[in-house]
Chain A
Amino acid sequence: MMKNCEYQQIDPRALTVSPSSAQIHTVKKVQRLRRKWEVFPGKNRFLCDGRFILARQSGVLPLTLGLIIVTCCLFFAFDCPFLVEHLTVFIPVIGGMLFLFVTISLLRTSFTDPGILPRATPDEAADIEKQIDTSGSSTYRPPPRTKEILINQQVVKLKYCFTCKMFRPPRTSHCSLCDNCVERFDHHCPWVGNCVGKRNYRFFYSFIVSLSFLTSFIFGCVITHITLRYQAGKSILQAIQESPASVVELVICFFSIWSILGLSGFHTYLVASNLTTNEDIKGSWSSKRGTEDSGNPYSYNSIITNCCATLCGPMPPSLIDRRGFLPPDEAGPAASTSEIELPPFAAKNGTHMCTQSTKDVLERMVHSSEFQGLCPPGIPKTTPLGLEGSNTAAPSTEPLPSAGCSRHHACHSVVTPCPPFSRSSRRDSLHSINPAFRLASPSPSLSHTTLILGDAPDMGFILPREHPLTTGEDEES
């Protein structure tokens, strides 16, 4: 036993395990240490070995960048020479500074982790489920997956996130496009190709404010340019013909100004009242407006303090540790689950779960006998094979109406109609689900479906339900 232990400790990666648990070690990638971003479960893309994070659907970020760069290039090439000659040399200087500021803010918004919460470890998830079990009611209904807490004497409901296996902290929301829980979730912005949350909200705000200045500046300069040419004795048409690029810029700026200025104004209001777009759209605190001056428990009730807290507060660190290395023993199960998950895909009923739990128990026994010597605690006890089957039993598409936002900005498509079940059940399988819990609850596959339905649309929709045993849990208050 001692010898075994020493051997494992010295060279865990070269460890070849007995054939019964060969599935854990069928990995080919154990040769090199993997970084955590490589096994990140959310729908994100990583660049430069985990230094930059982007949503998988980069949306129209190339378009945004392209529009900005093209407009500015046209401005510098065609309008600036004339204006420098007739007005002042500061015009391209100011233009250049604004352009730089806009581009850097945009890139920082797109490539910064918005405040993604890492998913709960299997032990944590099991602990939470145990707590819910003991505190839940013993009736036929599955226990409600919400927790109520008091924040500044106001009742706030915390919802349980089925994907991330934890109770979401206040102001946290699960983005269905990125498949992550994001702290202080504002919205998912397709123009920027990323979620806007706690960590990148200030970059986003400086992006839209500086962009408003930039578009207004270019618009003003182009108008001045054409006016000057017109005043020099030519007709408007002639002036335009001499500088056709100005018309292009005018058109782009004209259409952008409305949306960008409106968006800046809206976000300035949000910053001043310490709200997120998510909360504003859902009207989370507006029902209290009649009784108090602000029902928002996070507001400091002072515009300046709210602004400072949101924009100038300390920069929180990234919680997902993208560039950290995975411990070698954890690299195994994560890689191998992608190989195991395919066979159980077809199974759809409770009997599947029964065989699963037996398998899990057997694997746990194998694990404990072999990994006794490995020091790092917290080795996942089971190969996480969750109820993929019941996921597929759920309706494949749900008609998700858009967020009903009256503002026409693309940024405010808080929910782009994306079937919530398109995210593969692979996500669930990466986290062990306590099989004992599933077995204990009656008609488990149906209740699991119900609970999954409750998770995906985080924007306050009531989905059509097929099962009478449903709780109104996903209704946003």
Chain B
Amino acid sequence: MNLQDLQQPAVSSKVFLQRDYSSGTICKFQTKFPSELESKLDKQQFEETIQTLNNLYAEAEKVGGKSYLEGCLACLTAYTIFLCMETQYEKVLKKIARYIKDQNEKIYAPRGLLLTDPIERGLRVVEITIFEDRSIGSGR
């Protein structure tokens, strides 16, 4: 990809990965490989990305000893503690943002794809933008 392409990416299409509710209301995305990406991306890599994302979200929403402690402490302080402390969820969200950025740089951008952080879409979908491949020069 030359400099001109980098400056003028045109969106060819978008693929949306919907939520998977089979385990309840926890945040989990479907790992079904979309047909539009078949020519662009390895199925293995795609599944690995989505699975890691799902695991990270599961970690964020985990109801365990740490979150109970956080909850009880918050209750005792009339929830004012959230003004100074970052919640477990927020910490993991930052981790997720870093992971997505990393994946985009290493795997998706070189293939003309862009992964959008689901939090920007209200945790409804994982949006994958497919950019038009200018370097080939064929008109569509």
Contacts and interface: CB of A to CB of B under 8 A. Distances in A.
Contacts of A311: 71, 75
Interface in B104-129: 114, 119-125, 127, 129
Given A319-B122, A320-B122, A377 B11 contact: yes
B80 interface: yes
A278 to B, nearest CB: 14
Given A313-B71, A372-B8, A378-B11, A124 B124 contact: yes
Report, as a range, how many residues of chain B touch the other chain: 35 or more
Interface stretch (A113-121, A245-253, A407-415, A467-475): A113-121
Nearest to B80: A104
A259 B129 CA distance: 53
B79 A104 contact: yes
Contacts of B72: 312
Contact of A105 (B14, B62, B78, B88): B78
Contacts of B68: 308, 312
A101 B78 contact: yes
Interface string A180-205: 00011000000000000000001100
Contacts of B62: 314
B119 A124 contact: no
Given A171-B25, A314-B88, A127 B10 contact: no
B23 A123 contact: no
B112 to A, nearest CB: 12
Contacts, number: 127
A121 B125 CA distance: 11
A170 interface: yes
B21 A314 contact: no
Given A170-B21, A317-B93, A378 B71 contact: no
Contacts of A309: 63
Nearest to B12: A377
Interface stretch (A21-29, A150-158, A384-392): A150-158
B14 A151 contact: no
Nearest to A305: B63
Classify the secondary structure of B's interface with A. Answer: mixed
A440 interface: no
A170 to B, nearest CB: 6
A317 B89 contact: yes
A100 B93 CA distance: 32
A9 B9 CA distance: 12
A343 interface: no
A378 B10 CA distance: 10
A321 to B, nearest CB: 8
A94 B24 CA distance: 41
B125 to A, nearest CB: 6
Contacts of A373: 7-8
B89 A314 contact: yes
Given A2-B4, A124-B125, A373-B7, A316 B89 contact: yes
Contacts of A378: 11, 14, 127, 129
Nearest to B67: A314
Contacts of B89: 314-317
Contacts of A298: 24-25
A297 interface: yes
Contacts of B10: 372
Interface in A90-121: 100-101, 104-105, 108, 117-118, 120-121
Given A169-B21, A317-B90, A378-B11, 12 more contacts: A2-B4, A6-B7, A108-B79, A202-B79, A206-B79, A312-B63, A312-B68, A312-B75, A313-B71, A317-B93, A319-B123, A321-B120
The 6 closest A-B CB pairs, nearest first, are: A312-B71, A118-B122, A377-B11, A104-B78, A319-B122, A315-B87
16 contacts: A100-B78, A104-B80, A118-B122, A124-B125, A156-B21, A183-B25, A184-B25, A297-B24, A312-B67, A312-B70, A312-B75, A315-B70, A315-B89, A319-B122, A319-B123, A378-B127
Interface of B: 4, 7-11, 14, 16, 18-19, 21-25, 60-63, 67-68, 70-72, 74-75, 78-80, 82, 87-90, 93, 114, 119-125, 127, 129, 131
